[in-house]
Chain A
Amino acid sequence: GENVEQHPSTLSVQEGDSAVIKCTYSDSASNYFPWYKQELGKRPQLIIDIRSNVGEKKDQRIAVTLNKTAKHFSLHITETQPEDSAVYFCAANTGRRALTFGSGTRLQVQP
């Protein structure tokens, strides 16, 4: 089945710096790659997604890039703020089961 690997598992940055989280996937048929943010004690919420017909998508301070040839995609957060501190999950669609999630990255933004 689909395997989605996510790195790093923890990431600490200074406020104002950039953060990058990387994921790789195994199913070449995957064509939908969302990123979810989960704040402590809360439910995961979609922050950005990308489909395989584009290589990059931006939404204010966050961006996602996709390299279908290499089967990897990345989340970029610029000008990080303390409220960006959370666990971030990447995911890729797989067959009929919708999404396979990565194991998560705990991002801590130090003020």
Chain B
Amino acid sequence: EAQVTQNPRYLITVTGKKLTVTCSQNMNHEYMSWYRQDPGLGLRQIYYSMNVEVTDKGDVPEGYKVSRKEKRNFPLILESPSPNQTSLYFCASSSGRVYEQYFGPGTRLTVT
């Protein structure tokens, strides 16, 4: 089954404790993105990757890091989480910039 998976689905952590949210897709997609969703603000892109070892900033990259060492995986790293990073995070993949994006199930992160 074609899918995008994310782990964990829910995470409560404390300020400053490094965390990683994993994202994996099995569709051989080149393009992957991370979004955060906050009430009234829609989906805002954090980082994107057009292929292995090619990543770039989206609209709200501050406080986040990513890596793309393999085509299928695109982890999101929060080196020192802060309460303003409390949000719902979605990973997405697509075969190109102007094609359907397939979203993962989401990760709800709370930073206290």
Contact = CB atoms under 8 A, between A and B. Distances in A.
A44 B45 CA distance: 14
A87 to B, nearest CB: 9
Interface residues of B, number: 24
B90 A44 contact: yes
* Highest count of chain B CB atoms <10 Å: which of A49, A93, A98: A98
Contacts of A99: 45, 101
A-side interface size class:
20 to 34
Interface in B56-112: 56, 58-59, 90, 94, 97-98, 100-101, 103-106
Given A46-B100, A46-B101, A101 B50 contact: no
Nearest to B91: A43
A33 B58 CA distance: 18
A97 B43 contact: no
A57 to B, nearest CB: 14
A9 B103 CA distance: 22
Interface string A1-21: 100001001000000000000
B45 A93 contact: no
A97 B100 contact: no
A97 B48 contact: yes
A37 to B, nearest CB: 11
Given A43-B106, A98-B31, A98-B33, A34 B40 contact: no
Interface of A: 1, 6, 9, 31-32, 34, 42-46, 49, 51, 89, 93, 96-104
19 contacts: A34-B100, A43-B105, A43-B106, A46-B100, A93-B97, A93-B98, A96-B48, A97-B56, A98-B33, A98-B48, A98-B98, A98-B101, A99-B101, A100-B45, A100-B59, A101-B42, A101-B43, A103-B41, A104-B42
